[in-house]
């Protein structure tokens, strides 16, 4: 399933490159760079795990995953800060992102070491921050006086995908350590749900890219 998600990332990245001019016109010029960073980092992670760090895969995966997921959250945060219309929403999200970065550093230094522990706390905070950004956009869309067609609004589909993925992942990561110690079967089941959500998120992003191609 990991290769399937990587394939989904690659398809979305390549499609965004083809449509980069349309995305720039829509104010979504950062999206190809974000999708590229995700695809390249995940590809490198898989290759390094399989062919370089074969004897200590967990020792490599933990710090790599911790840093990569934090970077993705920050990039998507900047994406929303740039595109949200109400100034108040942008300021609140900017503060949330700053708090996330500060907490990530505190988490590394004193709570969950970078090289030995999965960063469940900072990921949960970052997920909620991104849900704030996506939620603000969707609320802005609902309250807008102008009619927005789902067939032509790429931001709608991207926001739906990100919101669904991170809103469900927030409690999953918050409970991760507890489930790891008490219910491995439940943890595996939720991990499978997480994988399905990955596919759903990239399906929504792909639909958003198709919307950009129609405008």
143: pLDDT confidence band, cut at 50, 70 and 90?
A: confident
Whether residue 76 is predicted with pLDDT greater than 70 in this model: the reply is: yes
Helix (H) or strand (E) holding 21: helix 20-25
SS3 content of the chain, % helix, strand, coil (to 5): 85, 0, 15
Instruction: Find where tokens 């989904």 sit.
Output: 8
Q: Which residues of 95-126 are buried (b: 16+ CB within 10 A; e: fewer)?
A: ebbeebeebbeebbeeebeeeebbbbbbbbbb
The pTM (predicted TM-score) of the whole model is 0.94
The mean of the pLDDT values for the chain is 90
Q: Does pLDDT of 52 surpass 70?
A: yes
């Amino acid at each position: 399933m990991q290769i399937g998600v990587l394939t989904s990332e690659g398809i979305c990245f390549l499609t965004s490159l083809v449509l980069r001019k349309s995305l720039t016109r829509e104010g979504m010029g950062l999206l190809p760079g974000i999708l590229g960073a995700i695809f390249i980092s995940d590809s490198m992670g898989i290759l390094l795990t399989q062919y370089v760090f074969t004897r200590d895969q967990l020792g490599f995966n933990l710090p790599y995953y911790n840093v990569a997921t934090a970077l993705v959250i920050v990039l998507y945060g900047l994406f929303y800060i740039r595109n949200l219309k109400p100034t108040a929403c942008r300021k609140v999200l900017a503060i949330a992102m700053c708090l996330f970065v500060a907490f990530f550093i505190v988490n590394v230094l004193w709570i969950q070491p970078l090289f030995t522990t999965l960063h469940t706390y900072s990921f949960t905070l970052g997920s909620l921050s991104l849900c704030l950004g996506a939620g603000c956009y969707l609320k802005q869309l609902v309250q807008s006086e102008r009619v927005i067609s789902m067939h032509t609004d790429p931001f709608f589909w991207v926001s739906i995908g990100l919101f669904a993925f991170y809103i469900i992942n927030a409690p999953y990561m918050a409970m991760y350590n507890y489930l790891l110690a008490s219910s491995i079967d439940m943890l595996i089941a939720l991990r499978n749900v997480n994988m399905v959500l990955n596919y759903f998120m990239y399906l929504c992003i792909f639909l958003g890219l198709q919307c950009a191609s129609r405008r």
